[in-house]
């Protein structure tokens, strides 16, 4: 009996080192695993910081004029471009404003169209202002700053089209065939007819296409933005029918008529890059918001939460939000 007890004690004692060794192994594995996680987290943090620094350096270089490169820092970060169309009034007003997110790596472009009566408030006690009037007050620089405030992102690139440069763009591409939804007629301040279009399917030259893009009816600015969106889609579809080299050379020759910090060589390269990209890969959105009426003036009041939702999806590439445009009060 005594012998059996001694045997059990010896076995118990002999098992102790094994248990200690197992505990040590587990601790070592846990420590190694924790070290790997820490290293991965540190590496990712450094990568994120490096990527953000590269992006900011690129933006700074473009804004201060020390870089002429229209290239992406990362496939997940599109190139943001402010597109502005101005009229011939003195001072000029912006009749077309859009933010384009160009992803050359993924061959995708997203547009957010901004109604020109978008309400801008809180600027140096000026009260409510329309986006179109911002260009009249401070030109491209102020318009760029205001749109950056709307989206809370830097927009380093810009393209400004005048009425003449828009008409030349359309005429250089042999016009555009489109269905005009309604009769459109307008006289300028001198009583001269400057827009005269009849409802129906027709081929528009540069002058008539400009009238189609500028016309505002009694329903307000939103229908015009929707027409502008439709026009751009049809124009891109017409361009898509040409050979990539043809579009490349056309854009290179045309670009001298445009005010932009994107070079003619870069825009020609962009036209060639998108030579096989269908119009379905170019997505359009209207700045999320709704109509509001303040002191008899109608504004498009944007929704800052939905604006950020649009920008927040898919690694900062613009993505759709089915609730982006709320019900519209036509009163």
Pairing of β 157-161 and β 79-86: parallel
Is residue 288 situated within a structural domain?
Answer: yes
Counting every residue written for the chain, the total comes to: 331
- Dihedral pair phi/psi, residue 200, rounded to 5°: 135, 170
For residues 213 and 231, state if they share a domain.
Answer: yes
Between 51 and 296, the more confident residue is 296
The model carries a pTM of 0.74
Per residue, the 3-state secondary structure of 40-66, as one string, reads: HHHHHHHHHHHHHHHHHHHHHHHHCCC
Residue ending a domain, among 31, 52, 67, is: 67
Q: What is the C-alpha to C-alpha distance for residues 73 and 104, in angstroms, rounded to an integer?
A: 11
Q: Does residue 21 or residue 301 have the better pLDDT?
A: 301
Q: Is residue 327 part of a domain?
A: no
Q: Is residue 325 part of a domain?
A: no
Is residue 124 assigned to a domain? Answer: yes
Residue 158: band (very low, low, confident or very high) from pLDDT cuts 50, 70, 90: very high
d(CA 87, CA 213): 11
Whether residue 31 is found in the same domain as residue 113: no
The answer as to whether 266 is a domain residue is yes
pLDDT tens, residue by residue, 58-75: 656 545 444 557 888 778
Quote the DSSP letter at residue 69: -
- 322: helix, strand or coil: coil
158 and 265 housed in the same domain: yes
Do 151 and 91 reside in the same domain of the chain? yes
Cα 229 from Cα 221, distance rounded (Å): 13
Strands (DSSP E) found in the chain: 79-86, 94-103, 108-114, 119-120, 129-130, 157-161, 176-180, 184-187, 193-197, 200-204, 259-260, 282-286, 289-294, 297-302
Q: Examine the pLDDT at 1 and tell me if it is beyond 60.
A: no
Tell whether 85 and 213 lie within a shared domain.
yes
Residue pair 134/119 in contact (Cβ under 8 Å)? The answer is no
> Do residues 191 and 247 both lie within one domain?
yes
Assess whether 271 and 235 both reside in one domain.
yes
Are 77 and 150 in contact by the 8 Å Cβ rule? The answer is: no
Q: Are 299 and 119 in contact (CB under 8 A)?
A: yes
The 3-state secondary structure of 200-258, one letter per residue: EEEEECHHHHHHHHHCCECCEHHHHHHHHHHHHHHHHHHHHCCCHHHHHHHHHHHHHHC
CA distance 105 to 202: 36
> Is residue 77 a part of any domain in this protein?
yes
Residues 53, 159, single domain; the answer is no
Domain count, the chain: 2
Report the CATH number at residue 304: 3.40.630.190
Q: Which residues face 282 on adjacent strands?
A: 109
Average pLDDT of the chain, as a whole number: 81
Average pLDDT (21-25) is 71
**Which residue range(s) make up the domain with 211?**
68-312
Instruction: Looking at the structure, tell me whether residues 251 and 197 fall in a common domain.
Output: yes
Q: How many CA within 13 A on the CB side of residue 28?
A: 6
Question: Is 329 part of a structural domain of the chain?
Answer: no
Q: What is the tens place of the pLDDT at every residue in 33-54?
A: 888 888 887 777 776 677 666 6
- Which long-range contacts link 95-101 to residues 24+ away (Cβ below 8 Å)? 95/132, 95/213, 95/214, 96/161, 96/213, 96/228, 97/131, 97/132, 97/143, 97/147, 99/147, 99/151, 99/155, 101/317, 101/318
Angle at alpha carbon of residue 264, lines to 241 and 254, rounded to 5°: 55
Mean pLDDT is lowest, of 40-54, 187-201, 241-255, 272-286, for 40-54
Do 224 and 200 lie in a common domain? Answer: yes
Q: Are residues 167 and 37 in the same domain?
A: no
Contacts with 247 (C-beta within 8 Å, 6 or more apart), sequence order = 239, 271, 272, 275
């Amino acid at each position: 009996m005594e012998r059996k007890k001694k045997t059990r004690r010896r076995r118990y004692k002999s098992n102790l080192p094994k248990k200690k060794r197992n505990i040590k192994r587990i601790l070592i594995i846990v420590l190694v695993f924790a070290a790997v996680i820490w290293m991965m987290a540190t590496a990712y943090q450094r990568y994120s910081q490096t990527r953000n620094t590269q992006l900011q350096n690129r933006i700074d270089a473009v804004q201060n004029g020390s870089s002429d490169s229209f290239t992406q820092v990362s496939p997940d970060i599109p190139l943001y471009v402010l597109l502005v169309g101005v009229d011939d009034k003195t001072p000029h007003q912006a009749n077309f404003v859009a933010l384009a997110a160009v992803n050359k790596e993924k061959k995708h472009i997203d547009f957010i169209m901004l109604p020109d009566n978008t309400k801008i408030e809180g600027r140096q006690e000026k009260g409510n202002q329309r986006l179109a009037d911002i260009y009249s007050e401070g030109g491209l620089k102020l318009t760029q700053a205001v749109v950056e405030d709307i989206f809370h992102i830097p927009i380093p690139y810009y393209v400004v089209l005048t009425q003449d440069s828009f008409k030349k763009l359309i005429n250089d591409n042999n016009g555009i065939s489109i269905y005009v939804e309604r009769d459109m007629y307008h006289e300028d301040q001198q009583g001269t007819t400057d827009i005269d279009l009849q409802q129906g399917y027709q081929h528009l030259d540069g002058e008539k296409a400009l009238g189609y893009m500028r016309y505002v009816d009694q329903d307000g600015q939103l229908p015009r933005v929707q027409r502008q969106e439709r026009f751009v889609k049809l124009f891109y579809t017409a361009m898509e029918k040409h050979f990539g080299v043809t579009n490349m050379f056309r854009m290179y020759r045309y670009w001298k008529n445009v005010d932009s910090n994107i070079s003619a060589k870069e825009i020609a390269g962009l036209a060639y890059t998108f030579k096989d990209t269908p119009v379905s890969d170019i997505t359009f959105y209207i700045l999320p918001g709704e109509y509001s009426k303040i002191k008899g003036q109608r504004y498009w009041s944007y929704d800052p939460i939905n604006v950020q939702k649009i920008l927040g999806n898919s690694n900062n590439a613009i993505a759709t939000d089915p609730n982006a445009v709320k019900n519209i009060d036509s009163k």
